[in-house]
Chain A
Amino acid sequence: MVSWIISNPFQAVACACAAVAAVLALWFLIRRPTLDRATKLLLLAGIGVLPLATATTGNVAGFEATKARRFCASCHVMTPYGDDSGDPRSATLAARHARNELFGEDNCYGCHADYGMFGTVVTKLGGMRHVYEYVLHYRTMPLEEARRTIHIRTPFQNATCMHCHSTAGPSWNAIPEHASLLERVRTGELSCASAGCHGPAHPFSKPAPPAVPMAPGGAPTADVAP
């Protein structure tokens, strides 16, 4: 309990405010005091100030909770993705990123978030769409069918990878394939997740990749969507 409070201070504040507000509301309902100035002030705290504090800190805690992998994987169709990301033996791109402490338990959000000025808002709106789609179309769908059907709405953008892998670092450019494909990667013409490059982050959700003919320099000649 103590560790839960320490690790979630916003949740702790929200729960404490909610508890006091609930006590005040119950006191008013059960004891039925006269509506004098003291009662009005107590109700101002119980109906106004404390619930407002609960909502404010609860919003922060809620937004943080929506970044967690367990939140994404709480819809059954996402459990294979969550399980794979959390599997220490998995060698998929998603799992390897999840083992990076910069991503950790928030690795879904780390790779699927938009990073523009309004990135957080755009990402949350996209999340609302996910919930809408899940409730209306995928809630009762068997996992195997969902695995074949679900796909990323728009192709994964290299810009998201480049948020961390800037393509300007010497160690990145020391890899011959990176150096030779630099412009195609930066412009997004060639996806980082192409077959022949890093491949899809969640390969178990994709059909077996076709054989990709390789150019003399070792680069794939065709872009395959992630």
Chain B
Amino acid sequence: MTALRIAAVLTLIGLGLMVWSMLVPTPLPVMLAMTVGQGIGSLAFAIYLFIVVRDVRRAWRARRSGDPS
């Protein structure tokens, strides 16, 4: 849950950089959005995928072993 909160915060930072580049289309915001902003957004999505895939695998293993937890 903490990792997903971190992912949500990273998403907000990445979105902020991307929107900034559209509202102020000058070299620094545009370059930051296309590098740092998208990098942060990708990292956030990677964290989300990692958490979800991990949960799915845990549930799958639990079902296979017959463990109700």
Contacts and interface: CB of A to CB of B under 8 A. Distances in A.
A150 to B, nearest CB: 16
Interface residues of B, number: 31
A22 interface: yes
Interface string B39-52: 00100110011001
B15 interface: yes
Contacts of A55: 18, 37-38, 41
Given A25-B12, A48-B45, A54 B18 contact: yes
A28 B5 contact: yes
B48 A54 contact: no
- Interface SS majority for chain A: helix
Contact of B15 (A18, A28, A29, A62): A18
B4 A18 contact: no
Nearest to B18: A58
Contacts of B4: 28, 35, 43
Given A62-B33, A131-B27, A43 B48 contact: yes
Interface in B1-45: 1, 4-5, 7-9, 11-12, 14-15, 18-19, 21-22, 25-28, 30-31, 33-34, 37-38, 41, 44-45
Interface in A3-50: 11, 14-15, 18, 21-22, 25-26, 28-29, 32, 35, 40, 43-44, 46-48
Contact of B48 (A32, A48, A71, A134): A48
A226 interface: no
A28 to B, nearest CB: 5
Interface string A49-60: 001101100110
A65 B30 contact: yes
A125 interface: no
The 6 closest A-B pairs by CB, nearest first: A65-B25, A74-B26, A25-B8, A47-B48, A18-B15, A51-B41
Interface of A: 11, 14-15, 18, 21-22, 25-26, 28-29, 32, 35, 40, 43-44, 46-48, 51-52, 54-55, 58-59, 61-62, 65-66, 68, 70-71, 74-75, 128, 131, 134
24 contacts: A11-B22, A15-B19, A18-B19, A21-B15, A25-B8, A26-B8, A35-B1, A35-B55, A40-B52, A43-B4, A43-B48, A46-B8, A47-B11, A48-B49, A51-B11, A51-B15, A51-B18, A51-B45, A52-B45, A58-B19, A58-B21, A66-B25, A75-B27, A134-B27
Given A54-B18, A71-B27, A131-B28, 8 more contacts: A18-B15, A21-B11, A35-B4, A51-B18, A55-B41, A66-B25, A75-B27, A134-B27
